[in-house]
Structures are given as structure tokens and as C-alpha cells.
A and B are shown apart, each in its own frame.
Chain A
Amino acid sequence: MSGARPFDSAPLSVTALSRIIAGLLSVSDLHDVWITGELVDLRASGGHCYMELVDKDAGSGRVNARIKAIMWANIAPGIGAKFQRGTGQRLQSGLKVMVLGTVNYHPSFGISVVITDINPSYTLGEAERRRREILERLKADGVIDLNRSLQWPVPVLRIAVVSASGAAGYGDFVNQLYSTPRRIRFSVELFTAVMQGVRTAESCIAALDAIGRRVNEFDCVVMIRGGGSSSDLQSFDDYALAANVAQFPLPVIVGIGHERDTTVLDYVAAMRVKTPTAAAEWLIARAGECLDRLRQAAADILAAATDRMAGCNTQLSYCEGMLPTVARAAVQRSRATLDNARLSLAGVRASRIVPEQSRLGAAGDALKVASRAIVSRAMERLDASAGLLGALSPEATLRRGFSVTRTSDGHTITSAGEAAEGTVIVTTFADGEVTSTIINHQ
């Protein structure tokens, strides 16, 4: 090399060289400049953030340029917060960023950019702006939440897949789905579509239309593709495709790209997952929940049945134990009733019949006395009458010297007029009768 110093002149130590380099880099062109690049290998250590900024070839993704960068601990949180506020996501590897930095040279660590600020809107970028516009339009159309509001069928077993034929993502999905240890019987039908490039949206819509014509044969749609480069994802940021997904009558699971790659489909689909494998896992978990619910129901049924049976058993045993006692008690109660009746009867005899009897007896006695008195009174009266009768009798009159005159036919003559001359009369005296003929009547 012309102009090179001869090597016998005094050589530079690394330190001296570094010092020269550091001096050469201390120029205003490298001081506080805005730099754009993709963030890779971001890592935190001792509060500081270390990373690399790279430029990749748009077609091959090969790294064309790379430089180390650092955020010191005193400003790293502030930059992270600002970025998150502006973009809605954390500062992380894989993002395209615009940072304010100063090129610094350190004897041990070499050249690096010390970052002091970040421009989040750069990262949001053109693609993101377009994405937001699409979402705003879907919202204005009133369709943005339709697919997410759909009721998931139970269980989700019949799956229509929109994917490229032979794609690794589809293989991952099917492998995962059928390797479930629980042997859930999924049925999968592939509707092939172009999953990258300009025909993506049109092709996916055609596949959805084909599924829509047989909508009763499926429980859900799964749209998947392999990782691919992030630029490919922009073909999914399509209004027509997003509107189709949003209004699709079956729930749509979107598994396009990876965590950091979002498309508008992720906002309208009923379910978004990071990878095809994750889509399969989600379906398996959901079916597993159904199985678990069934098993739980079975356990509940068993428990309820067992409980009811135990209750029935207890009740029967109780009745069984009670029956003999109850029967004997009934007999004893009846016997007691009989005894009571007997006692009551005895009581009735004592309280009613005996007094009645004695009353009857007394009445008999009284009757005897009374009747005797009546008889004797009657006798006395008779005796008295007889005495009177004796005193008043014709015999007594006759004895006193009177006589009775009758006609021969027995008719008593009480006046002289009754006795005509020639009449035969019979005169009765106390000591006998004389018969006479009336010879003179005066």
C-alpha cells in the first residue's frame, strides 16, 4: 500500500489505535442521528439493553448491515414506555425501529450506537396505518365483531381448514390434532388457498365461499400457514378478506404467522392463535373440556344416584325397623282400650245399677206399707159401715116392735090407702109373719 509507513517506524498499540479511532468517530455526522433498522437480539443486562440493528435484504432476508446498539439503564425504561405508548406493543426483537443514537467507540467493545430516543410512529409504519384504516372501515360497517360474537358449537370437531396444500403449517396442524392422547375424533377437510403473494386475499375468499356452501357440515374454520417472512403477512391485511372473515357464519380460527406478526384477520376472527400447532392445541383443549364436562356429569349422576339410593335404603330400614313395634303397639293399644271399656262398664254398674236397685227395693217396701195401710183403712171403713148397717137394718126395727106389711105379692104397704078391703096382707114381725085379710077399711 503506497503511503504506508515502514514497519521499523514506531508501531501503534491497540490502545493508541483505539484512541485514534475514537477521535475519528467523534464527528457531528455520527452524533445524534436518526437510524432505521430491524431490532434483533434484544436482551437486558444489569438494567441496560443490548441489541443489534440490522438491515435485511427485502427479498432474501439476508443481513446486509449490522451494528451493535445499547440503551443505558437510566433511559431504557423511558424509551420502552414511549415505544409501547406509541405502538401498543413492547419493544422487542424483529421490529423495525427508528432510533436516535450517537456512534460511540469503546476500546473493549468496539463500535456501538448509544440510543437516546425512539420514534414509535415509524414502527407503526405504512402497513400498520393501512391495517388501522381497514379496521376502522370494518367497524363503520358494523361487522367487525360479528365473527367474534358467534356462539361456538359444542363440541368443535368438524373442521374446515384453509391452507396451502402441502404446507408445513397444515402438516403441523393435522399431526398435532391426531396425536391427541385422548383420542378425540376430529374430522378435517382442507380447502386449499394461496397463502402468500398478491393472490392471497382472493384465493382465501374463494376457499371461504366453498366452505360457506357446505356450512352445515362444519363446526369451524381454521386459517393457517407456516411462519414465512413478515412481509408476506401484508397480503392478509386486506379489506375484502377481513370483511369475509368477520361475516362468516362459522367461527374462524386464524393461525397466521407468529406472535409479533399481526394482521387485521387477528382482530376480526373469533379466535387468534400464534401457530398452526397452537390452533390444534386449542381445539384439543376445547374438546377436552367437553369430555371433562361429560365425565363430571357422569360423576355427578353417579353421586346423585348413589345418594338417592342410600336415602331410599335408610328410609326402608327405618320402616322395616318400625313395623313390628308399630304392630305390637297397635295390639297393646287395643287391649288397653278393652280394659278401659271393662273398667268403665264396672263403673257404670256401681254408679247406676246399684242405686237403681236400692231405689227399687225402697219403693217395694213403701209399696208394702202403703198397701197394708190402705187395706186396713178399708177394713175399718167396712167395719164401721157394717155397724151402721146393723143399726139401720129392718130386723133391728122389727125388734124394736115395728112390723112390715106387704101384699101377698111382696109389695110393701106404707099407707092405709093401699090396702083395700079383702086384700090379703102379710105382716112381718121380728119373730115371724102372719097373713090376714082386710075386713074393714076406714
Chain B
Amino acid sequence: MTAPVVPGAGAAPPALRRTPLRRFAGVDRLAVAGAVLLALIVLAALLAPWIAPYPEDGGSATHPLEALLPPSAEHWFGTDQVGRDVLSRVLYGARTSLLIAVAVLVISGGVGVALGVVAGYAGGWVRDVIMRVTDVFLAFPALLLSLALAVVLQPSVTTVIVAIAVTWWPWYARLTASVAASVATRGFVDSARCLGVPAPLIVFRHVLPNSLTPVLVQLSLDGGGVILTAAALSYLGLGAHEPTSEWGLMVQQGQSLFTTNWWVVTFPGLAILVTAFAFNVLGEGLRARLAR
């Protein structure tokens, strides 16, 4: 603290110093594009009550006299069967879809990573037991299992989250287990064991942080998949229901009108597409960056 500051003394040579700016510039453009697009969608979802032109249309409002108006200056995306502004509903729908995506990724990622890292580090019969359980879950086609669950439970957003999370965690468990198993053989883990660091701490401090990157990439790649699956469940009437704004539900309600009132189904469909795309681009970009 008292020593005079000599420029460059003790610090890494300039080329090695990683400023936030350098780090940002080094990130693949694709990942940046995906992150920016996703940030915009999140922002739109958060600000929906303020930026939606007709906030009350996000819910149960009805305006029978304004039903099925084509896109215009007042209603950029047109109106639906009961006269609600489609743009407002798409913005509110972003809240539902992102909530589902985040909740599913957090739950299935959390459960999968926790089980996977234990299986990967412990090996032996612990690994065998955990992996056989995940195999059982993986043996069912994911959408079918989600469907069955959604039918048993009451249709709701929570149901969608549970139904998807139940079928997704085994993938993260399997991925994490294989990464953690290879991390567990590395010198720094042996070195921690030789110090007498207790096993739970070794897992938490060394194995987990060093196993996480590929899982994070997979999670961001899967964000789009979750949104598509949630939309599919809602579309089949097993997820969100009226008057909640949800993209899959909106597509389902608008599909019979496609030939006559194309805007009712097209805009929520585009929203699904763009969001899934943003997640994928982000994930791809991260993957490319980490592969280097």
C-alpha cells in the first residue's frame, strides 16, 4: 500500500492484460448479436406495461367492435378475434415465454448440473445409479412425456414449466457428468485431495466451476427449444390459457383465421421464431468462442 506505484511493475505485460473492453471485443460477433437481440426481447418483456400501446389488451379486455382489424397506424400488428391489439399481446406474451424459458433452464439446469457433477466426481456406483435414472427419463420421447404430464396436471404456465423441466434435466445431468468426470482426473483435483480438502468442497470449489462452461453453452442453445416446446404445449391447449398472453396460445387461436386474417397468427409466430433464433445465435457464438 505504501510502496510507490511503478507503471507496469508486477502487472502482466500489456498484451496479456484483459480489460473489459478487450474481452468484449474478443467475443465472437455472433454471440454479441444474439445477446443484444435477446437483451432487446427481455427489455420489451420487462417494459411491456409501458411500451404496449394498449396495456389492458395484454389481459382480458375485449373490444368486439374492433375485432380482426388489419395492421394500421393504430394497431401496427392488427387486432384479434375479440378486438385486442396483437402488438400489445405479443409484448405481454414475451413475459410469459421468457418466464417459462428462464424457469425451465434454471430448474432443469440446476437439477441436472447438481446430479451430474456428483455423478462425475464420485464415479462408481453413485455414477451408475444417477446415470441409470437419467437413462429412464431419456428413454421417453421428451414431448410425449411433457404431454402426458401436462394432461395429468391442470393446464397452466406452471404446468408447462414443470412438464418441460422434467424432460430436460437428464440432458444436463449427462453432459455435466461427462465433463465433471474428466475434470475429476485433473491434477488440481488430486492436489486438493492430497491437501485433505473435504469431497463436497472439492466438488463445489474445483469440479463445478471447471465443468460449467459447456453446460452454459448448452443452456443458451436450449433456450430456443424451451420456448418452442412451451409454445407447442400451449398450442395443444395444455399450457397457458385465456386470457394470458402466450405466443403458442395466440398461434393456436389464430390459426383458423390464417387465410382471412393472417396477422393474428403471423406476429406471435414471428416472435417465437426471433426469440428461438436469438437463443441459438447466442449459444452458437459462445460455443465458437470457447472452442478457440
Chain B binds chain A: no
List residues of chain A with CB under 8 Å of any chain B CB.
Answer: none
